[in-house]
Structure 1
């Protein structure tokens, strides 16, 4: 027993915040979302791997995003000098890119479609239905309340919605606030097991809801929004891994066991039950064992890829490129989405992230206004 503990490799032993494959995994997950959406947005039917009763590729990717986020955001809070610094950094990471995406959608993407449909931009900003400025105004604080603009995109496989990916961002930010609240109470440092217990409670409620649909909202009315339950559960799974980074043994045998069990669950229809337990281990093993440590040498484009791909795919379908077949449609979607993703990182995200060094007094003044 003693020799095992001495020879064991723990997650903390292989975690290097500056040298890992996290950026590579985030990029792969963003590409997987595009792959998933290609079925629906291109009109190619349903996805095959997970089956309609279990999970889509996109759902799989989003949940893994939240696992990674839980790990990194918890680390961000613990290493931040104050709660104000933590919140400021989170705002800088999510809002500038999001706001830019909304603005670009109403000033570039939607006008291109409007011009193609009407041969003129006259009337675009006088639209009586789903006004472009309303799209910006009602969606400004992450909660997506309007998806269509000027009644456009009516004749494509997934009509009217310009960006169906942005809805997850409000849940992401709510998880940030949860960590800030729990952290302010001292739980992240003094009562780490609370996070694990909270994760297990959510997992239990999740299982009950699978067995008895709608049960979650009866147990806790706030979970009438089932995505809040699922996404926060996966987020807390990632948070648990960081909090117990010194206690989690990293082993190829455990990795293969988790991977094998996950594959078996997909084949035998119990994936939803065990994924919250197996996916985090698989993900973090890959994150710190894969060799793609310089993948973000030229920038981290995963956020931009995630938020811009949907409107790009809708535009490709509008102009009939989905008729070229699934493979061409998917490849075009990925390549075309890289353009705004790279621009977003270098023009919007990276410059705003440099504001992380702003003085704490200035941050407090911003929050008090």
Structure 2
């Protein structure tokens, strides 16, 4: 029915003609309408199949009632649910949101810590680096470990200064604020570490004083080499830090020299820790219970033997000055001694009568 070269207007007219033919001839096409005979025949077959195979009137009524009833019932909303179910759903969504927020915070914190390891004074992440150091110090509970960790932080500040000097070879081209921040933090950590280790060293922990002195000597050398490479203001501030390190070394040496004295400290504490005593060194007395060396005996002398008490056989005598062959003469030693003089009396002999037992002989 549709051929080539048909205009839209002609196609529209054909559709209207077919629609009127279907409405005018519900059965079959008329004889004079041969152009739409095939199409009208198909329409007639479809209408006949709908009548014979479709649902009956009763089924159509049930279907219609069901559709209308479903349309009349409004859908369930959140307000129609029980309160307990609504609360449970809200709590579940809140828990999921909190878990997602915590995961996001932890991931961001972990990334910040990784990126802040190489941060220098003046960088945006330098504060995160210092916060992580404070957190690690708070998780350290041993006083000795805290002192060494403070010295470790102070050494890190010197390393940061060396990195800044390498990054900015010109003294006036570097960040002055970064230099001053590193030096200030160095002084704070070095003084705190000195207070802890000198307090331990004054209580007979000489190893802590030795470590503190070695650390101060090595970092005095590092600061001396850096001082000439810093800007003018930072170089003057580095002189203050160098003076602090030298005083720490002197304090450790003074306390170590008085370890054998009766009084090690004066009882006062300053920025660096306990202050050494200024009076003369009075050596500590020997502790009781210490072993002393035995005095050697002269050749040919008799060894000292503790006397032993033995019961002689009846009838034997022990006179003063008499010795048995092969025995050593006991020397006078502190403590009570037992000496037997005169003849020993024999013990009396007791004779028991025999008793006859029943069934046995006498």
Q: TM-score, normalised by structure 1?
A: 0.17
Max Rg structure: 2
Q: TM-score, normalised by structure 2?
A: 0.18
